[in-house]
């Protein structure tokens, strides 16, 4: 049996590339975006009452990770990227139908769009459905996951003087918490777990319309080098 689905909206996100997106929602509260609703859901009736909700579940499509052949086993980053597990035991992006889910904070409801924070969604992500978060039903007190029982350990993020000044300038220009976003995302250490970079290697990623570059001057330390217009 096959089903055809159509998106109800498209996410306009601070994340312009997959690298450095937090591996789970809520790890970077400063990560913001807008869900632009598509007709006929942009008329207001579909979101009537949603202003009473603080968080929503988004069912979305991993539109840049779609594959014709399903994967039965994947290598989750949580396990260092070198151990295989069944796809249904992980939240890897390589899903049988390309479907992901995230619970995000609903910052506001406006005509034709929802304002979001704490997102982990790439710019341009198609959203298939929106469901309100229900605390008494969605919070399971005795739930367990032995593979991911604790949040990831944050890595130290240091700033070069020029880089911090640049981030603050872009924060004012964009009206977005650029410096907080950089710290929260880089603290998750976006590099592959199996990779041990030399201090000379410089990494980069685009948030909003700025390019962020950093390196690892020592183990478990990131130093932001510059934050410039992309």
Model confidence over 63-102: pLDDT tens digits?
988 888 889 998 877 666 678 899 999 888 889 999 999 9
How far CA 141 is from CA of 135, 137, 138, 146, 173, in Å, comes to: 11, 10, 10, 15, 42
Question: Where residue 119 sits, what CATH number does that domain have?
Answer: 2.40.30.70
Residue predicted with more confidence, 210 or 220: 210
- Bridge partners for 224 per DSSP: 159, 214
134 and 163 co-located in one domain:
no
57 and 92 co-located in one domain:
yes
Q: Which of 1-5, 19-23, 149-153, 197-201 has the lowest mean pLDDT?
A: 149-153
pLDDT tens, 7-45?
A: 999 999 999 999 999 989 999 999 999 999 999 999 999
13 and 109 co-located in one domain:
yes
Element (H, E) at 178: helix 178-186
73 and 113 co-located in one domain:
yes
In a domain, 121, yes or no: yes
Cα–Cα distance between 125 and 62 in angstroms, integer? Answer: 7
In a domain, 1, yes or no: no
In a domain, 97, yes or no: yes
Q: Which of 87-96, 165-174, 175-184 has the lowest mean pLDDT?
A: 87-96
168 and 194 co-located in one domain:
yes
68 and 130 co-located in one domain:
yes
134 and 90 co-located in one domain:
yes
| Structural domain span for residue 193 | 156-229
pTM: 0.92
pLDDT tens, 93-118?
A: 889 999 999 999 999 999 999 999 99
112 and 42 co-located in one domain:
yes
Please tell me the total count of domains within the chain.
2
């Amino acid at each position: 049996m096959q089903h055809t689905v159509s998106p109800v909206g498209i996410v306009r996100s601070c994340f312009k590339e997959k690298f450095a997106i937090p591996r789970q929602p809520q790890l970077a509260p400063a990560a913001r975006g807008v869900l632009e609703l598509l007709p006929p859901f942009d008329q207001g009736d579909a979101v009537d009452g949603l202003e009473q909700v603080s968080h929503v579940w988004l069912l979305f499509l991993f539109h840049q990770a779609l594959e014709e052949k399903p994967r039965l086993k994947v290598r989750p980053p949580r396990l260092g990227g070198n151990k295989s597990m069944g796809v249904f035991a992980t939240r890897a992006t390589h899903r049988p139908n390309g479907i992901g889910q995230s619970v995000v904070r609903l910052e506001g409801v406006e005509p034709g769009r929802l304002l979001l924070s704490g997102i982990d969604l790439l710019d341009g992500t198609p959203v298939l459905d929106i469901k309100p978060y229900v605390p008494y039903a969605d919070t399971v007190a005795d739930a367990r996951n032995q593979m991911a029982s604790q949040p990831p350990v944050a890595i130290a993020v240091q700033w070069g003087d020029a880089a911090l000044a640049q981030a603050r300038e872009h924060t004012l220009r964009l009206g977005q918490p650029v410096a907080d976003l950089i710290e929260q995302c880089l603290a998750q250490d976006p590099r592959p777990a199996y990779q041990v970079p030399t201090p000379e290697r410089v990494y980069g990623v685009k948030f909003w319309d700025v390019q962020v570059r950093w390196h690892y001057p020592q183990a478990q330390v990131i130093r932001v080098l510059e934050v410039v217009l992309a």
